[in-house]
Every structure is written in C-alpha cells, then in structure tokens.
Amino acid sequence: MTHDILHVMEWHNGEKISQPFSDQEMGRRQDDVRRWMETHDVDAALFTSSQGIAYYSGWFYSGFGRKCGMVVSPTATTTISSAVDGGQPWRQGFHSNISYTDWRRDNFFYALRQLTPRVARLAIELDHVTLKFLRQLEAALPGVEFVDIGQASMWMRAIKSTEELDVLRASARFAAHAAAAVMGLIAPGVAEFEVGIAAAAAMHRAIVETFPGAGITGCDARFQSGIHTDGAHNQVTDKRIEAGEVLSLTCASMLFGYSSTLQRTLFCEHAHKASLCIWQKNLTVHRRALELIRPGALCREIARELRDLDRQCDLLKYRSGSYGQTIGLQSNSLGGDPEVAIREDCFAELRPGMVISVDPMLMVPEGEPGAAGYRDTDVMIVTEAGAERITDFPLGPDHNIILAHEDRDAGRLHMRMGR
C-alpha cells in the first residue's frame, strides 16, 4: 500500500438534513443504551444491524455487501460507513461519522479500533453477528469480551415514542392512499406488475409531498393474482388478472425506516361461493383479533383464542403463519422484534406504545374449492385504554370485489357476492 491511499477519514460532505425525530428523541434513545451499558459494566456498544443503526442514529443504511456499524461510548456516538456512500451517512444521521475505503479488506475493523480504545467489554448484536463476523471481531479486538445487546435493544425499540407513532400513522396513510389509487386499474387482462408499479408510485409521491427531501427507499408494493397469492412475499409477474380469481394487494410504505403494511384480499368482478365462504371466515378471525389487541393482553392467549376460532371455522389446516407481528423498524430488509408476535410460543404482554399488525393468513392448496391465499393486514397501536387502528382502508366483500366497469345494476351485484 502506498502512503497516499486513504483508509479511514471523515467525509462530512454537505449539511445535516431535516429528520422527523427531534434531538431530544434521538438523545433519549442513545441515553437508554448508555444506562444499559452502565448497568451491565459495558464500555461501549457496537450496532451493526440496519434496525439498530437506524433507531439510534437516524441513518438508514444499505450495506451492499459492506459492513456498517455504530459505536456508542459513554461520551460519543459515531457511525462507521463505507466511503462509497459518500457524505449521506453524515447528512442523514444524528451522530458523528467516519468512512472507510475499500483499499484494504479490513478497513472496517481499522475504523472500529479507532473508536474503541481501552474497551474491555463490548456489546454487540448477537442476533445479527454471524460466526464469521464474530471471529473477525475477536481477531481485530484481541482480549475484548463480547456481550449481547441484541435482546435489550429489541425491547428498547418495542415501545414506540409519540414521535415514532406519528411517523407510523403517516406511513399507514400513505399505504392506504396507494391502495385507493390502484382500485380503478384492476380489471381482467391487466398485468400484475402494472398495478404494483402504480401503487409504488402513489406511495412515493405521497411521501415527498408530505416530507420534501425524504429518502425514498424500502417502499414495497406487490399485487398478486390467482395461484400467486399463496405466498405473502411472492414476486410480482406479468400474469394477467382473470375475472373471478383471488387478488392480493400489499402496500408497505417505508418512511425513515418505519413501515406500516396494508394488505387486502380482493376479487375481480365476482367471487365464487367457496372463495367467498373462506374469505368471510378468515375475516371473522381477523375482526376478533382486532378486538383482542389491548394493554395487558398476552400474545399467547390471543393466539390460543384465535386458534380455537380457527378450529371452529375449519381453517386451522390452512393457517400458514402467526396472527400478527410487531410493526416499526421492520421490512423485507430489516429485522423485527421476534419476541412480540401473536403466536402461542410468544409470552410477551402487550403494553401501551407497542405497535402490532393483525394479519391472519390462509393458504388453500390448488385443487381445493376456493384455492388461493387470503390475507388482510391492519396495523394497531396499543394505547392506555385499548387500541387504535391506524389502517384506514375497508375490509371484505362489500368493498373489495372490484368491478371493472360502472355497471352496478342489481343483477351484477348479485353475481358479485357469489350468489
């Protein structure tokens, strides 16, 4: 290596950009980490997950195979970014920042050593650190003891602040706006990807109109039809909509790393009797789940009651996942809070400030009456008195059997309802 090659430097290019969270809010989050560090006799904490770095710094990173991190010490907070990201980590974050270049493969660890002198105990996110990464940390920081902060950080994120709840409400509005915007596009012969593109564009426009200058990343709009509805994350294709088949629309609006997901089961033109029966049964479970979200409720007890209702409705054999999960700094690219989910093996108690989805999903296999995937997702904020449903979009056959034309005479409506 020649002497004029840079390895680690400060690239504070430009000015800090406006963020939705106040200095007081971001300071509170970092102070929570420092209190935990003091209690557990830890000298510094290294966050390496997207959700951890975003929560404590405001910088929402995409690593593209490169390591990123954030070091919290008793007196300072600094993110470590790849120089290929330029000055954005500095502009976007509530923190100091240093960048490392690709000239040597260990430059990330070189930067880390600069930020952790005399550290004897370092907290890391063990739910994010691979065995290979741990070995690299041990080699880069010989003699340092590593302890886990992943679980503690998850519980810090689980209770949302007032500012976080405002962002999630906005995200939910954008998702509902996108869903409403594409209803008029749904018709026989229209390709799945055309609806998905339109929904994503509607979310993007709504975000920039409300938050000028906000980074648009992570918004997920998916529209599936027929057999493609059997999986929640199936890719959008050029398959064309057919009259009478099940449709599934997902609008997940990502706002500063926070995502509120809206999903709706739809039909084009009409619903067959078997499909309508299954859909209505699943909505019975869904609506009961909405009623059960309240402070003090245990996730496992909610799941048990819904399981019993599934059994009464003969749906249990089609149930493909949990009845809901935590919402917040979560998306297809981020981790969630696995200890807060509506499952029988989850022992968490719902507390005010938690945000959880209600999304019981069914998958009826091909060849059976009503074969398809059925899922409707609503987002709920647990309050002191109960719960607030922030998803503002209608459910069920009265609203979501989409007619391609304005022909709403009594005979067509009769057909629409599966009769």
Please give the positions annotated as active site: 233
Q: Which long-range contacts (CB under 8 A, 24 or more apart) does 129-135 make?
A: 129/48, 133/48, 133/67
Taking the CA atoms of 25, 27, 30 and 34 in sequence, report the sign of the dihedral they define: negative
Phi, psi (rounded to 5 degrees) for 415: -65, -35
Give me the sheet containing 258-268, strands edge to edge.
220-225, 246-255, 258-268, 401-402
Question: Hey, what are 22's tokens?
Answer: 């106040």
Closest to 68 (Cα-Cα) out of 31, 109, 103, 35? 109
3-state secondary structure of 254: strand
Paired residues of 379 in beta bridges: 357
DSSP state of 331: S
Cβ atoms of 310 and 289 within 8 Å: the answer is: no
Strands 121-124 and 145-148 come out as parallel
User: One-letter amino acid identity for 22?
Assistant: S
Question: Hey, what are 250's tokens?
Answer: 């997902």
| 213 exposure class (CB count in 10 Å sphere: 0-12, 13-18, 19+) | exposed
Cβ atoms of 289 and 302 within 8 Å: the answer is: yes
Question: Hey, what are 418's tokens?
Answer: 């599966």
Cβ atoms of 178 and 260 within 8 Å: the answer is: no
Closest to 171 (Cα-Cα) out of 285, 261, 73, 298? 261
Cβ atoms of 262 and 172 within 8 Å: the answer is: yes
**Cα(343)–Cα(323) distance, integer angstroms:** 7
User: One-letter amino acid identity for 99?
Assistant: S
**Cα(342)–Cα(305) distance, integer angstroms:** 11
Angle between helices 150-158 and 50-57 (to 10 degrees): 50
Cβ atoms of 48 and 69 within 8 Å: the answer is: yes
